[in-house]
Amino acid sequence: MNQELKPADISRAPIGVFDSGVGGLTVAREIMRQIPNESICYFGDTARVPYGSKSKETVTRFSRQIVRFLKTHQVKTIVVACNTASAYALDELEKETDIPIIGVVKPGAKVAAEVTKNGKIGVIATEATIGSQIYTQYIREINSNATIYGKACPLFVPLVEEGLWQDPVTDEIARRYLTELIDSGIDTLIMGCTHYPLIRSTIGRIIGSDVTLVNPAYETALELKNMLKERGLLNEEPPKLGSNQYQFYVSDAAEKFKQFANSIIKYGILSAKTVNIEDY
């Protein structure tokens, strides 16, 4: 049951973070770095990943269930750490949810619109995110002269999950995906999928050092920090010794998730619990 929190307790409540699987750990990692006093309740939908090839209706239904699950953990805010879920479901979730909820698309779009000098911005993401045109929409709200070049890069997700972060195969695929963006003369590139920051060095090397890479995970943690501060929700106290600061839940394959999580988060994740998300 979702018990009411007293106002004094709210800032100590965890931040709910969710993704279709392991990718959102890149966002959780930035939150851990930038606001280390905060507790996190993470949900990875490992049974139903990928979201990037699913419909808006399906991704919205999945996201609603996860929000209901996170709310049973009395989270003070929710971060939709998945670009696809942010693109497809955030508007609906915002309308339905009585706690602040932020996605990863707007923060990345905002920075890209501000840093571009020639107004040519590339976006790489899942098919769903590119098809939704959500980055284009947000960028144009800030910089109406910008030209946005979107490119779906579906193979990057399995390559990252297979651990091929520094591999000739990933180099070759990246070259094929990125050539048309290089040819279009972009000066800014948004890594609009949770997994892509993990192959940042490959993407950066191939796209060239003249192109500024924008990492929405980093920008989202920054925006989250500012939002919590403005609303008086930032936890000013360090977590108590022995407290369960970071909790991880998945819908399947908890052990595999734990191994992946430990390869990117240095904190040391001891357990991930499996949840039947269809119950929510």
Closest-approach residue to ligand DGL (CB): 52
Q: Is 19 in the site for ligand DGL (CB under 6 A)?
A: yes
For 71, the 3-state DSSP assignment is: helix
Q: Is 199 in the site for ligand DGL (CB under 6 A)?
A: no
Instruction: State in angstroms the smallest separation of the CB of 66 from ligand DGL.
Output: 12
Q: Is 49 in the site for ligand DGL (CB under 6 A)?
A: yes
Q: Is 122 in the site for ligand DGL (CB under 6 A)?
A: no
* Residue number, 158 or 208, with CB nearest to ligand DGL: 158
Q: Is 50 in the site for ligand DGL (CB under 6 A)?
A: yes
Binding ligand DGL by CB under 6 A: which of 14, 16, 44, 52?
52
* Residue number, 11 or 83, with CB nearest to ligand DGL: 83
In contact, 79 and 224? CB cutoff 8 Å? yes
Pick the catalytic residue from 66, 90, 102, 193. 193
**What is the Cα–Cα distance from 23 to 80, expressed in whole angstroms?**
11
Tokens of 24: 């959102």
Tokens of 196: 């892509």
**What is the Cα–Cα distance from 250 to 47, expressed in whole angstroms?**
8
Q: Is 186 in the site for ligand DGL (CB under 6 A)?
A: no
Contacts (Cβ under 8 Å, ≥6 apart) of 166: 201, 202
Q: Is 112 in the site for ligand DGL (CB under 6 A)?
A: no
Measured from the Cβ of residue 153, the count of other Cβ atoms closer than 10 Å reads: 25
**What is the Cα–Cα distance from 171 to 176, expressed in whole angstroms?**
9
DSSP letter at 156? H
Tell me which residues touch ligand DGL (CB under 6 A).
Answer: 19-20, 23, 49-52, 82-84, 126, 129, 157, 193-195
